């Protein structure tokens, strides 16, 4: 069962790259006292994720922040080194926090996993986006398999 609006995010630890190297970031660290736009992709460097999903949030970061978003975060079931390299490749800079969910703990905890075994990818996060206020999910938008509509930066801007 997937997480619903009004529910608190589960306590999960991501990894992110810092100047000192990989560092843990908990859901509480990420969301306490903030409004967060969090989106998940099935895989870093994959076609739709690299051509549309992450670039949309990089391009629309200013607009999202102008509408009250404090932090934009991208997560995927990839390791911290891959997420860091992908963020650099996509020019995410400080606009989008790249969060590695290496073991899929977050995707599983929120009930939004998919089986990518057919493509040699194993268990992954579904494509989705959330608006989170102080640790509580306000909106959750989950894509149908193969779609890219409701988890886009443009769609979130319409909902803010």
Q: Which of 49, 73, 74, 130 is catalytic?
A: 49
Neighbour-count burial of 13, counting CB atoms closer than 10 A to its CB (0-12 exposed, 13-18 middle, 19+ buried): middle
> Is 58:17 a contact under the CB 8 Å cutoff?
no
Q: Decide if 49 is catalytic.
A: yes
Alpha helices in 10-101 (DSSP H): 27-31, 47-48, 54-59, 61-66, 80-90
DSSP assignment of 131-151, as one string? EEETTEEEEEEEPPTT--STT
**Following CA atoms 92, 93, 97, 99 in sequence, which dihedral angle do they give, to the nearest 10 degrees?**
70
Residues forming the active site: 49
């Amino acid at each position: 069962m997937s997480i619903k609006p009004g529910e608190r995010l589960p306590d999960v630890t991501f990894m992110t790259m810092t100047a000192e190297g990989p560092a843990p970031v908990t859901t509480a660290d990420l969301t306490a006292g903030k409004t967060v736009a969090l989106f998940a992709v099935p895989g870093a460097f994959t076609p739709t994720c690299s051509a549309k999903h992450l670039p949309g949030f990089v391009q629309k970061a200013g607009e999202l922040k102008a509408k009250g978003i404090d932090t934009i975060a991208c997560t995927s079931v990839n390791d911290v080194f891959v997420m860091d390299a992908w963020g650099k490749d996509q020019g995410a800079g400080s606009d989008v926090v790249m969060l590695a969910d290496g073991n899929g703990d977050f995707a599983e905890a929120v009930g939004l996993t998919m089986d990518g075994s057919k493509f040699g990818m194993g268990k992954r996060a579904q494509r989705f986006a959330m608006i989170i206020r102080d640790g509580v999910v306000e909106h959750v938008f989950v894509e149908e398999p193969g779609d890219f509509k409701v988890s886009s930066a443009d769609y979130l801007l319409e909902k803010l």
